[in-house]
Amino acid sequence: MASDRSRLHFWANGSDLDGFERDLRGDDSVFGVVQLDDDGSEDRLYSAQVDATATVTAAGEEFDATWLTVQYADDWWHTESRFPDMDTLDQYRTWLTDRDASVQVDNVYVEEMENEGPDLTRRQRETVILAYEKGFFEVPRNATLTDLAEEFDVSEQAISQRLRRAYSRLVAGNYGE
């Protein structure tokens, strides 16, 4: 698989799955379509490759988003997602609108934190721990942003942003508000 492509696994359902599959295979932005499961119902599981820079999920990775559900219905993509904080959600929304995507946020749920200490997202925590273990914080450094990005299969910019957000949370949780 080319490194500039993302592989997606997704369920499709509806009354014209053959038409959907035909259109999917005919789309020049979609590669390597494979039907993984067809149980005879109105659901089929597919795998396909798309240009990584063109997907909202790849962009979400840059913003440390977690996709809980993604569904296309009524000519809209409906998602349930988690973001590290409201600022990051707003940055992602801006990223989408800058690319002429219409965005409608229906609900925002802010999770109450039980402890007063810094709370990193799972990805932030994994990144900070790996950076420490690889010697990123040593002087001189034993690891670079490139090394960390390769470990997580994301861009250097994504790692840099993830680390900055983690630093911000750590400082705010220990010394800030």
Tell whether 111 is covered by a domain.
Answer: no
Nearest to 11 by CA among 56, 49, 46: 46
Tell whether 71 is covered by a domain.
Answer: yes
pTM comes to 0.48
| Whether the predicted pLDDT of 14 surpasses 50 | yes
CB 45 within 8 A of CB 10: yes
User: Are residue 30 and residue 80 in the same domain, yes or no?
Assistant: yes
For 125-170, write each residue's pLDDT tens digit: 889 999 999 999 999 999 999 999 998 888 899 899 999 988 888 8
Structurally, how many domains does the chain consist of? Answer: 2
User: Are residue 44 and residue 129 in the same domain, yes or no?
Assistant: no
CB 29 within 8 A of CB 51: yes
- Cβ neighbours around 48 below 10 Å, total: 20
* Boundaries of domain holding 49: 5-98
